[in-house]
Structure 1
Amino acid sequence: MTGGTESISPSNSQENGIPMTKLGPSSSPSNLSSKNLATEDGNAVSESKRNSTGMLASNENADLSSKASLLLSRIQYLSLCFTLFLAGWNDGTIGPLLSRIQDVYHVNFTVVSTIFIFACVGFIGGALLNIYATGKFGFGKVIVFGSVCQIVAYAIQCAAPPFPVFVMTYTINGVGVALQDAQANGFVASLSRRPEAKMGILHAAYGLGAFASPLVSTQFAVFPRWSFFFFVSLGLSVANTIVLCLVFRFKDQDECLRQAGEVVADREPAATEENAFTQVLRNKSTHIIAFFALVYVGVEVTIGGWIVTFIKDVRGGGPSSGYISSGFFGGLTVGRVALIWVNQFVGERRVMYIYALLSIGLELIIWLVPSLIGNAVAISIVGVLLGPMFPIVVNQASRVIPRKILTASIGWIASFGQAGSAVFPFMTGAVAQKHGIHSLQPMLIAMMGFMTILWALVPNPARRTD
């Protein structure tokens, strides 16, 4: 004991039962704390690495999912392009075969034009059926049913049946084309990525089909078995049906769009099933645009269907005159792609007037200038100018029609427009029977003028109300 304080030595501590821990430099309290912090930091780094790895894996999965959705979207779009190709193939077929059908069945212009009337019944029936069937059965089932209708029609036509049966097949075919046309247009109009350009390319596929079919049907028109041409159409329609079944798998439009990475808003109850039918029929903009489409498609198919007869009878063209129809539809295809930038630069609404006036001017040249080559060139240029019009019409509809009935309305417009491919060619045939085929050009000029007036009545997108 010194100064009242007991000194504890190592020996004393052991003697008193107090264990002594040998404290080294690394065992000080501050160093122990550092060691714990280092351990915690290591755990945090490991956790961060695990989170980072998880995020990378998640991003990779999301990226793969996005790529898969994009690929599916492209496959869906190309499938619909093939469907429109077949619709164009169907419309471009009749021109080169019309004279041969008259010879085989011994019928005049008026009687052979009943083909267009029966097709019209099919188109109108398909347009009405589409509004109801889409809500009831869905996109995937309706579009496949339409393609099956085409298979049935072509299978009968292959056999060159009696004329009454032959023309009735055009009603079945009309229903099929109307349903597919309506569904394809409604689907593409609902896309969020570059819908205007995609609509133009979709209808360019139609023009490509209408360009290709006269090249083939012109060859069959001089064969003894001329109806065997429809075996080609039958093969294409079977392929189309298989593709639609595999790609869309009978699903409705919203489900197909979601699988392709599109954001789909919930459908409003007011626009479902039977209510959609009523709302479409009450929408003024839908009917104005539908009547424009009716006249436009009528002009398009009247030129494609009767221009070959005009060139043969009035301009003295030979058997190869059928290729002029291909020139027109080839121009249609080119115009729908090549003039997209012009539409955007000038404005879709204004550029329609320019195209219409130029087309009327060229029809005057075809009417008044008796030159076979000059007429052929002018017809092709008319095709270029008419080409962008229908895609512009569908784009316009997507801006002025309420979104809740947009798909049903575009289906009605497309299907009702297809009726023009029957009404106006029939009228042309009836007039030609009485006044001669040289009356074709004045009729086309009048139809184009009426079409221009209808376009002026189409509502401006700025006035849209949803």
Structure 2
Amino acid sequence: MAINEKSPSPAPAIVESEPATRCGSNTPGLAATSSNNGEKPIAHASLEERAGALAVPPPSGTTSSRYRWLVHVQFFACCWAMVVAGWNDGSTGPLLPRIQEVYGVNYTIVSLVWVFACVGFLTGAIANMFLEPRFGFGKTIFIGACFQFVGYAIESAALPFPAFVLGYAINGVGMALQDAQANGYVSNLPNSSTKMSFLHAAYGLGALASPLAATQFAQLPHWSFHFLISFGVALLDAIILAAVFRFKTHDECLAAIGQVRHLDEPSEKNDDSGSETEKSHFRKVMTLKETHLMAVFILVYVGVEVTVGGWTVTYVINERNGGPSSGYISTGFFGGLTLGRMGLIWANNKIGERKALVIYAALAIGLELVVWLVHSLVGDAIAVSFVGFFLGPMYPIAMNVCGRIIPPSLLTGSIGWIAGLGQAGSALFPFITGAISNKAGIESLQPIVVAMMAFTIGLWICVPRDKVRTASPSSSSPEGAGAIPPPPRPVVNV
């Protein structure tokens, strides 16, 4: 580890350092500190005092090693939450024909599993903006995990259809809370852009593994026992999140790894602010146009992703005379999704994330046309896998862009709404596809998917260019309201 003194510059690199005495902000980046000897909190100090409070000594070698270890542990916990989300989404497609058979329902009625999940996702996305300021990161993400395993417990019992789909709604609330918190937290970790790609690759791993189990259970008398495996995976998720984050706030968890956040708003848990702060935060998030534009993009993108992964199995069985093992095509799709999120990181950096996303979407459209027009079971299976490969990087790219166009103080709440609405897309568009297929036949799947992919390109073009993040959406200063002049800082090369 080498320590080099660095002279003041307009934008010095902020690197790992010893945690401040107390983290008290709600945004990524710089530190929030306050003393225990009666001094006024740094949140209310002058710019000079705030800048001076940031000049903390660099960590020792032992401390740096401990920080790195804790970063990996925390990142693994977030990844496991995404594995559970992927496991959930990857299970539906292979089980769908069996659900129709058991309950005797058509395409429209069986699509209610996605409608109820959509209700759960939207409920969780809105609840997240109130739960996090009140309870903090650690408790909120744990609550999400609890909702999820309760939902699986209901589904595993194969109750009458109304109760069965209710389990999807409960599950949706849990997924939305965890998705929001995991994305928001990883966006504050070191090397967050690369970690974001691996975070969503973990989603792909879960979606890759679940069809292997779901396809087998779909052929067994006790088909619903698949959800007992899901229950165990979700229960393990809750245990991991509780053990790693220990119900601490966002700032406390970051302080444990020597990371700190910008001090432009009160902390995520402020007893003095009460419900007024929560309402103010909610209002700011919901009036930010960038948030809603990205939310609509993610809504359509996730809708495409889950529609392809969920309905392609039924399409292949009916249109390509596929057998019971056609469920493995869903495995190929999500396997491609996982590989794309990890394997195309270099391409994203090489050509730029914005251009890369447009190229990937165009290639995915071309491959989906192959599935539509080429009547070959093997050829379609291969094409579907490559569709997943090129769709894969689009979600983490969008999350990275969110971090560059949304004010830091609103980032976690905004990502919660964006991710929650995206999960709603995973329910809304498969339902629409099912309703249309019930009238026009399952062969209508491909033109619907192609149109949705083309729409994502149009939405992406409308996303504003990267800008310097500000403290509030109304800030006119290029550095944001309350920007802190950076003090001389040592650069720590770990």
Specify the TM-score bucket, using the shorter chain as the normaliser. 0.7 to 0.9
Report the Cα distance in structure 2 between the residues aligned to 1:172 and 1:60, rounded to whole angstroms: 45
Aligned-partner residue type, residue 314 of structure 1: E
Cα distance between partner residues in 2 of 1:128 and 1:92: 25
Stretch moving more, 307-316 or 401-410: 401-410
Residue 206 of structure 2 corresponds to residue 201 of structure 1: no
1:153 maps to 151
Conserved? CA contact 1:135–1:274, under 8 Å: no
Q: Is the 8 A contact 1:82 1:240 kept in 2?
A: yes
Structure 1 counterpart of 2:414, from 378, 395, 409: 409
Structural mapping, 1:234-249, within 5 Å: 234-249=231-246
What residue number does 1:437 align with?
442
- The match for 1:275 is 280
Hey, what's the Cα distance between the residues in 1 that align with 2:263 and 2:314? 52
Letter in 1 for 2:200: H
User: Secondary structure of 2:210's partner?
Assistant: helix
For residue 370 of structure 1, give the secondary structure of its aligned residue in structure 2. coil
Match of residue 350 from structure 1: 355
Correspondence 1:399 to 2:396? no
CA apart distance, 1:264: 2.3
Matching residue's letter, 1:354: I
| 1:210 equivalent in alignment to 2:207 | yes
Structure 1 position 408, deviation (Å):
1.0
Report 1 or 2 for greater relative contact order, CA contacts < 8 Å, sequence distance ≥ 6. 2
The alpha-carbon deviation at position 267 of structure 1 amounts to: 4.6
Instruction: Describe the SS at the equivalent of 2:159.
Output: coil
Residue 381 of structure 1 is aligned with which of 382, 386, 390? 386
Is it true that 1:228 corresponds to 2:233 in the alignment? no
Letter of the 1:274 partner, please give it.
Answer: K
| Cα RMSD for the two superposed structures | 1.5
Q: Is the 8 A contact 1:270 1:276 kept in 2?
A: no
2:127 to 118, 129, 151: 129
Structure 2 unmatched runs, 5+: 1-56, 269-276, 471-479, 481-494
In the superposition, relative to structure 1, how do residues 384 and 60 fare at CA in structure 2: closer, same or farther (>3 Å)? closer
Counterpart residue identity of residue 337, structure 1: M
Please tell me whether the aligned partners of residues 408 and 469 of structure 2 are also in contact (alpha carbons under 8 angstroms): no
Matched letter for residue 78 of structure 2: L
Residue among 161, 184, 187 paired with 1:186: 184
Q: What is aligned with 1:42?
A: none
Q: Aligned to 1:222, what secondary structure does the other structure show?
A: coil
TM-score computed with the length of structure 2 as normaliser:
0.81
1:10-44, Cα deviation, whole Å (9 max, x unpaired): xxxxxxxxxxxxxxxxxxxxxxxxxxxxxxxxxxx
Query: Which amino acid in the other structure matches residue 68 of structure 2?
Result: L
**Aligned mates of 2:461, 2:58 — CA distance in 1:** 51
2: distance between equivalents of 1:423 and 1:122?
12
Query: Cα–Cα, structure 1 residues 292 and 60, in superposed 2: closer, same or farther, change >3 Å?
Result: closer
Aligned AA (1:216): A
Q: Which residue type is aligned with residue 76 of structure 2?
A: L
Amino acid at match of 1:375: D
Give the counterpart letter for 2:94 in structure 1.
P
Q: Is the 8 A contact 1:73 1:261 kept in 2?
A: no
Matches within 5 A, 1:36-435: 62-191=60-189, 193-269=190-266, 272-435=277-440
1:29 matched residue in structure 2 = none
Larger radius of gyration: 1
The counterpart of 2:466, out of the listed 456, 461, 466, is 461
Counterpart amino acid of residue 444 in structure 1: V
- Tell me, in whole angstroms, the C-alpha distance in 1 between the residues paired with 2:312 and 2:59: 56
Q: In the aligned structure 1, how far is the partner of 2:278 from the partner of 2:90? A: 34
How many residues get paired? 407
Structure 1 or 2: larger helix share? 1
User: Is the CA contact 2:404–2:468 (under 8 Å) kept in the aligned structure 1?
Assistant: no
SS at match of 2:219: coil
Q: Does the 8 Å contact 1:294/1:420 carry over to 2?
A: yes
Q: Report deviation, 1:65.
A: 2.0
Letter of the 1:233 partner, please give it. S
Instruction: Give the C-alpha shift of residue 273 in structure 1.
Output: 2.7
Aligned partners of 1:225 and 1:173: how far apart in 2?
Answer: 21
- The answer to whether the 8 Å contact 1:127/1:411 transfers is yes
* Separation (CA, whole Å) in 2 of partners of 1:99 and 1:212: 19
| Conserved 8 A contact 2:251-2:260 | no
- Give the match's secondary structure for 2:60: helix
Between the aligned partners of 1:144 and 1:267, the Cα distance in structure 2 is 27
Q: Which moved more, 1:155-164 or 1:260-269?
A: 260-269
The separation in 1 between residues aligned to 2:125 and 2:77, in whole angstroms, is: 21
Q: Deviations over 1:235-286 (max 9, x none)?
A: 1111111110010000011110110111323351498532211110000001
Distance 1:264 1:115, change over 3 A: same
* CA offsets 1:325-361 (integer angstroms, 9 cap, x no match): 0000000000000000000001000111111111111
CA distance in 2, matches of 1:366, 1:268: 50
Deviations 1:384-440 (A, max 9, x none): 000000000000000000111111111111111110000000000000000000000
Overall identity of the aligned pairs, in %: 56
